[in-house]
Amino acid sequence: MKKSDPKKQLINLVSAAVFAALIAVFTAYVSIKTGINDGYLHFGDSMIYLASCILPMPYAMAAAAIGGALADILGGAAVWAPFTAIIKALNAVPFALVYVCKWTKSPQRILNKTTAFMPIVSGLITIFGYLLAEGLLYTFPSAWTSVPFSIVQATGSAVIFYIAAAALDGVGIKKRLYRH
């Protein structure tokens, strides 16, 4: 068994904390209230997508869960925090699996042929995850009224992800973070 590198663990931990903060800020403060079931529209998922392409899976999932739940608490929707923690952790999984399962020939890039499709998979997790959560918290008929906002949120997050990923790949962020 390979012993973990303490420097790499520290980089992962600090990076996860930074991503959790970015996710919380992009979700809670760069948002628009929808007026439906305490919901709001945000593009914080784009930061989850980035975190999931940069960090190892457990760190990405933790950053997503903590950042998303914290955003709900900060935004006055604490009842949503447990649901959000689960949904956002699951949002990280499709992206992280690309690297864990070696589904890409470009592991040093955030945006590659495989990760380009993951916002669709993650977006579906968001749409159906919140549909279920809203149905449990309120009613399923009212939950369906939020689906269009979830689609806009997933689409907007994907666009921001593509732009940010291309920019970060341009400066070789993954190579810079993990060289030693």
Tens of pLDDT along 108-164? 999 999 999 999 999 999 999 999 999 999 999 999 999 998 999 999 999 999 999
Three-class DSSP category at 33:
strand
pLDDT of residue 48: 98
From residue 173, alpha-carbon distances to 110, 141, 164, 166 in Å are: 9, 44, 11, 10
**Around Cβ 170, how many Cβ atoms within 10 Å?**
8
Bridge partners, 41 (sequence order): 32
Average pLDDT (63-83) is 95
Q: How confident is the model at residue 92 (pLDDT cuts 50, 70, 90)?
A: very high
Higher model confidence: residue 178 or residue 121?
121
The CATH architecture assigned to 6-177 reads Orthogonal Bundle (1.10)
Kindly state the average pLDDT of the residues 73-95: 96
Q: Where are the domains of the chain?
A: 6-177
Q: Which residue has the tokens 């608490």?
A: 73
